[in-house]
């Protein structure tokens, strides 16, 4: 750490508020205000590093300017901040070409986060391929979970709930979705779990953050949340051999009435779908209930994605379509575990497209889209 001047000796430690004369060298390099860069000892500095380093990131992101995603930032690129291509399998320093439907653009993403060796990991953690899942017979048959599996899933879902709540506390204007991902990653690892999305089919981050017209699978990046945005945070954790998957959509600051209507309707769709869940109900009936309520509100249901089975596999049978007149096969039975995650669009829009070769899906005319999940 750098030694401070005589004036700096009157500052308070950024961690413990004791008198401080040492300065974070990175803050000095970036010419950041001394008030938040002072520490009383090396120990305080080291203990604060995981949270303090976000100050450096925010300073670098501010240099992106108003054109943000379109400009190039050599400082970010030199530290591994690049755009994502080929569904997560490659990177580029240039903004990918795409027929953008609105003002939203992808921003550079940070380097892949590490998971400690002692954490139990799914098979895709190293090579990106969920081999067990792809070859499982549970893609074609709906598994009836044992009491032990159910108990492990309850425990895992409790962890996922705590992680999602930690992410929610970060949401406000000026925070980047990458910062939200960092909180999700660290909270998951601290609980002894693995963030299931990380490297799943090469997905580069530990959660999905889908803003405004992005339907799902948004990649956390350097974009700052803005007042009036809506953001969905999708968290899945892997613990004791099973996955727990949940997401919610949040307001960023002050949002308009159309956004509030969309969020309210989607929650109502989810509640109505949950209310019919019991043994003997057809899987296809979930979509009928959701579609009916969304249509009555002048909104539309995404048909490209559906709920899914979950347990020792991240995704498996059954498929749970959220739209009406679907052809889902089978009935609900005690011991089955699956997600219901209606994705609802504003303004009757039902088309969507892959954004710039990425993994995220965007509505065809920049209409707002919302997803909320129940397990």
Binding residues for Zn(2+): 234, 245, 308, 341
Cα distance between the two ends of the chain:
48
Q: Phi/psi zone of residue 31: left (φ > 0), alpha (ψ -120 to 50 degrees), beta?
A: left
Report the relative pairing of strands 361-363 and 369-371 from DSSP bridges: unpaired
CA distances from 333 to 159, 276, 277, 337 (A): 26, 13, 10, 9
User: From CA 168, how far away is CA 270, in angstroms rounded?
Assistant: 20
Residues belonging to the binding site are: 217, 234, 245, 308, 315, 341
CA separation for the pair 361, 352 (Å, rounded): 6
Q: Which residues contact 255 (CB under 8 A, 6 or more apart)?
A: 228, 229, 230
Question: What residues are paired with 232 via a beta bridge?
Answer: 210, 249
Q: Please enumerate, by residue number, every residue annotated as part of a binding site for a protein.
A: 217, 315
109: left (phi over 0), alpha (psi -120 to 50) or beta: beta
Nearest to 325 by CA among 277, 351, 292, 359: 292
Q: State how far the Cα of 328 lies from the Cα of 287, in Å rounded to an integer.
A: 9
Omega of the bond prior to 318 within 30 degrees of 0, cis?
yes
Give the C-alpha separation, 355 to 261, whole Å: 26
Q: Do 360 and 109 contact (CB within 8 A), yes or no?
A: no
**What residues contact residue 291 under an 8 Å CB cut-off, 6+ apart?**
301, 322, 323, 324, 325
355 Cβ contact partners less than 8 Å away, ≥ 6 residues apart:
98, 106, 214, 361, 362
Rg (CA), the chain: 22
Strand partners, 246: 235
Report which secondary-structure segment, H or E, holds 292. Answer: helix 284-296
> Is 249:232 a contact under the CB 8 Å cutoff?
yes
């Amino acid at each position: 750490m750098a030694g401070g001047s005589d004036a700096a000796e009157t500052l308070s430690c950024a961690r413990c508020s004791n008198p401080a004369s040492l300065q974070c060298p990175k803050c000095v390099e970036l010419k950041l205000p001394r008030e938040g860069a002072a520490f009383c000892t090396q120990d305080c500095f080291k203990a604060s590093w995981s949270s303090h380093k976000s100050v450096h990131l925010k300073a670098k992101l501010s240099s992106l300017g108003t054109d943000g995603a379109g400009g190039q930032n050599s400082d970010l690129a030199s530290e591994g901040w690049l755009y994502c291509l080929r569904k997560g399998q490659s990177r580029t320093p240039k903004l990918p070409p795409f027929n953008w439907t609105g003002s939203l653009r992808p921003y550079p993403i940070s380097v892949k986060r590490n998971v400690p060796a002692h954490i139990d990991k799914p098979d895709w953690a190293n090579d990106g391929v969920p081999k067990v899942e792809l070859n499982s017979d549970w893609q074609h048959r709906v598994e009836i979970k044992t009491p032990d599996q159910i108990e492990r899933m309850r425990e895992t879902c409790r962890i996922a709930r705590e992680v999602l709540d930690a992410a929610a506390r970060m949401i406000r204007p000026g925070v980047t979705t990458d910062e939200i991902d960092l909180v999700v990653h660290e909270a998951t690892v601290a609980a002894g779990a693995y963030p299931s999305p990380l490297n799943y089919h090469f997905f580069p981050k530990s959660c999905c953050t889908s803003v405004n017209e992005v339907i799902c699978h948004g990649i956390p990046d350097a974009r700052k949340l803005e007042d009036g945005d809506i953001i969905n945070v999708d968290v899945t954790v892997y613990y004791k051999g099973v996955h727990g998957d949940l997401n919610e959509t949040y307001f960023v600051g002050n949002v308009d009435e159309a956004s509030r209507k969309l969020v309210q309707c989607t929650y109502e769709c989810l509640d109505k779908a949950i209310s019919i869940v019991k043994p003997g109900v057809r899987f296809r009936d979930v979509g009928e209930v959701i579609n009916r309520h969304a249509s009555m509100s002048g909104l539309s249901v995404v048909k490209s994605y559906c709920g899914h089975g979950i347990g020792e596999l991240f995704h498996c049978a059954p498929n749970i379509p959220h739209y009406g007149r679907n052809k889902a096969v089978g009935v609900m039975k005690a011991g089955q575990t699956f997600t219901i995650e209606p994705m609802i669009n504003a303004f009757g829009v039902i088309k969507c497209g892959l954004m710039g070769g990425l993994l995220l899906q965007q509505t065809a005319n920049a209409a707002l889209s919302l997803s909320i999940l129940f397990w």
